[in-house]
Amino acid sequence: MVIASVTAESNERIRTLEYPVVDLSWKRGRAAELLVRACEEFGFVKVVNHGVLRSVIAKMEAEGARFFALPPCEKQKAGPPTPLGYGIRSIGFNGDMGELEYLLLHSNPSYISQKAKTICRKDPIHFSGVVNEYVKQVRQLACQLLDMVGEGLGLQDTRVFSRLLQDSENDSLVRLNHYPPWPGSDRAGGDADREPAAGKSRDKRSGGRIGFGEHSDPQILSILRSNDVDGLQILSAEADDGGVWIPVPADPAAFYVIVGDALQAMTNGRLVSVRHRAMANSCRPRTSTVFFGAPSPGTRITALPQMIRPHAPRRYKSFTWAEYKKAMYSLRLGHNRLDLFLADPDDHDQDSGGISN
């Protein structure tokens, strides 16, 4: 597997940490095999030569910059988040806070054109056009990657995952995050000697300022990109100290792929939904845009029959996406939501598996 490495200071130790990279210009079979290995070992992969047009990315970034530069009273017109809409600091409904502002949107074009009226009052049609084109291209990338995952896993029906994102009722979201600058600090761990203002989140080990706290993404696959400001970290599963945060250097030309809980459930735990977070430590603002690929609310998420083996019995009960969303909105950001759906080890009733909607 092609691995990128980063040197990081953690617990007063300098470590070299690694994360996988896949180049989509490689031979498809090889890229598919490496993609699956990355999703099994990390639940995360950086993708280069992805084919999403630079002009489409630049327009999306410009729309985000224009919106976040508006006066607070203008931005509030697109809020509060219900969970969709404009939010500042507060994440979800259960008291989670972060150092960020965001716009959380459904990916459905009719929702976007409605919401655009409050986000871009000067030119809502331009805003929806830009977001729709971005979503279209990034969804295509997500589907290409999911088909490669299907191939790499050796499935007969290689489109089993991508079909869910192409369903007309799919529940995919797009999120624009804006992390404000932290003046006077530009170290990976932040300025550990400074006291945070009341109520502000800090990582206990590194002292860094947390923009978006530790969590896994609930959906099937997330496709993330950012500006050139670092901040994204993924949690490696290391036996010695319960995991190490791997800082993933920013690369505005790349996309970062994050396996979500639903894909972990459908692969019976073979692909892992990675825990990650975003730090807000830089003296420059960080912006990120995330497409969260999700099925329709009625889709039943259950392990594919090929993923259930005598040595790999069913790990999760089956659930609909609507049921999973209900559970996730009742929980804190950092909760391990899939654990709520762990199968009873003695229950063999559901052993045939599959996806239905």
Ligand X SMILES: O=C(O)CCC(=O)C(=O)O
Ligand Y SMILES: C=C1C[C@]23C[C@@]1(O)CC[C@H]2[C@@]12CC[C@H](O)[C@@](C)(C(=O)O1)[C@H]2[C@@H]3C(=O)O
51 phi and psi, to 5 degrees? Answer: 90, -5
Looking at residue 120, the DSSP 8-state letter turns out to be -
Site membership for ligand Y, residue 232 (CB under 6 A)? no
Q: What is the DSSP string of 19-61?
A: EEEEETTS-HHHHHHHHHHHHHHTSEEEEES----HHHHHHHH
Site membership for ligand Y, residue 327 (CB under 6 A)? no
Site membership for ligand Y, residue 96 (CB under 6 A)? yes
Residue nearest to ligand X as judged by C-beta position: 288
Q: Residue 105 and residue 60: Cα distance in Å, rounded? A: 13
Q: How far is the CB of 284 from ligand Y (least distance, A)?
A: 22
Stretch in the footprint of ligand Y (CB under 6 A) among 50-58, 201-209, 243-251, 323-331:
323-331
Q: Residue 238 and residue 43: Cα distance in Å, rounded? A: 14
Q: Which of 217, 227, 273, 316 binds Fe ion (CB under 5 A)?
A: 217
Tokens (6 digits) for 342: 């762990």
Angle between helices 124-152 and 28-41 (to 10 degrees): 90
Q: How many residues touch ligand Y (CB under 6 A)?
A: 17
Binding interface with ligand X (CB under 6 A): 175, 177, 212, 217, 224, 226, 231-232, 276, 278, 288, 290
Residue that has been written with the tokens 């996730």 in this structure: 328
Q: How far is the CB of 322 from ligand Y (least distance, A)?
A: 13
Site membership for ligand Y, residue 292 (CB under 6 A)? yes
Long-range contacts of the stretch 204-209 (C-beta < 8 A, 24+): 205/10, 205/11, 206/10, 206/245, 208/279, 208/281, 209/99, 209/182, 209/185, 209/279, 209/280, 209/281
Site membership for ligand Y, residue 328 (CB under 6 A)? yes
Q: How many residues touch Fe ion (CB under 5 A)?
A: 1
Q: Residue 143 and residue 124: Cα distance in Å, rounded? A: 28
Q: How far is the CB of 306 from Fe ion (least distance, A)?
A: 28
Q: In sequence order, what are the residues at sequence separation of 6 or more whose Cβ sits closer than 8 angstroms to the Cβ of residue 328? A: 218, 337
Q: How far is the CB of 88 from Fe ion (least distance, A)?
A: 18
Q: Residue 273 and residue 283: Cα distance in Å, rounded? A: 30
Q: How far is the CB of 346 from ligand X (least distance, A)?
A: 36
Residue nearest to ligand Y as judged by C-beta position: 92
Q: Which of 331, 341, 350, 357 binds ligand Y (CB under 6 A)?
A: 331
Q: Which of 37, 92, 180, 306 binds ligand Y (CB under 6 A)?
A: 92
Q: How far is the CB of 32 from ligand X (least distance, A)?
A: 25
Contact residues: Fe ion, CB under 5 A: 217
Contact residues: ligand Y, CB under 6 A: 83, 91-92, 94, 96, 104, 173, 175, 215, 217-218, 292, 328-329, 331-333
